[in-house]
Amino acid sequence: MKTLFELFITFTKVGALTFGGGYAMLPVIQREVVENKHWVTDEEVIEYYAIGQCTPGIIAVNTSTFVGNKVAGIAGGIIATLGFIFPAFLIICLIAGLIENFSDLLIVRNAFSGIRVCACVLIFNAVLKMWKSSVSDFFTFALFAAVFLLTVLFSLSPVILVLVSAACGLIGGTIMEKNRMNDAESGTGTLPSSSDDDREKVEK
């Protein structure tokens, strides 16, 4: 019960204090669940981001569901999701009737301009952290460059990009693993020892 309560409070805080959309919430989720709570690892969060991009719904909400499920099963996934959307639900209910009056105010537009800049910085910081743990060799860098070019030049669906990247990772990982096994086998081959040579000389 305590774990479920912690999940609800943690994701309520994330949902209440983050502006700028789903991607802006990702670095906040990473800080809370990896650095503060140690519920998951950086690698697991990156996997949740990728899966959340492919599944229906907002990526930040999907990620919250995955983390909650990892920590406390199905109940944890439900509680984390409810905690994440609870602040937004309350705020929207409160301002739904007043949004028309506030949206044209200069002070409101200026405030959200600053918030958007902050959101960009948070997203960039999250990208740097994910880069360090994901792009670790020539193969992953080449895959990153290929996906980046496909995104810029062709504007492909994120689902397609994730599926193609998964296939490339599976194929590339299998090939590299086979190469490592071949290198290990070639390095452990048996060679005639000096003692065997000495015995042959004595017998002659």
Structural domain boundaries enclosing 114? 1-133
Contact 11, 64 (CB under 8 A): yes
Closest CA relative to residue 141, chosen from 129, 131, 156: 131
Separation of alpha carbons 137 and 79, rounded Å: 38
Task: For residues 95 and 125, state if they share a domain.
Answer: yes
Task: For residues 129 and 162, state if they share a domain.
Answer: no
The pTM of this model reads 0.57
Domain count, the chain: 2
- List phi, psi (to 5°) of 150: -60, -40
Tokens found for residue 164: 């193609």
Task: For residues 145 and 123, state if they share a domain.
Answer: no
Q: Which of 67, 98, 133 is the last residue of a domain?
A: 133
- List phi, psi (to 5°) of 50: -65, -45
For each of the chain's 204 residues, which pLDDT tens digit applies? 788 988 999 999 888 876 656 666 777 888 888 888 889 888 888 888 878 777 777 788 888 899 999 999 999 999 999 998 898 888 878 776 666 666 677 777 787 788 778 778 877 877 787 787 778 888 888 888 988 888 888 877 878 888 888 888 888 888 888 888 877 777 654 444 444 454 444 454
How far, in whole angstroms, is CA 117 from its chain's centroid? 22
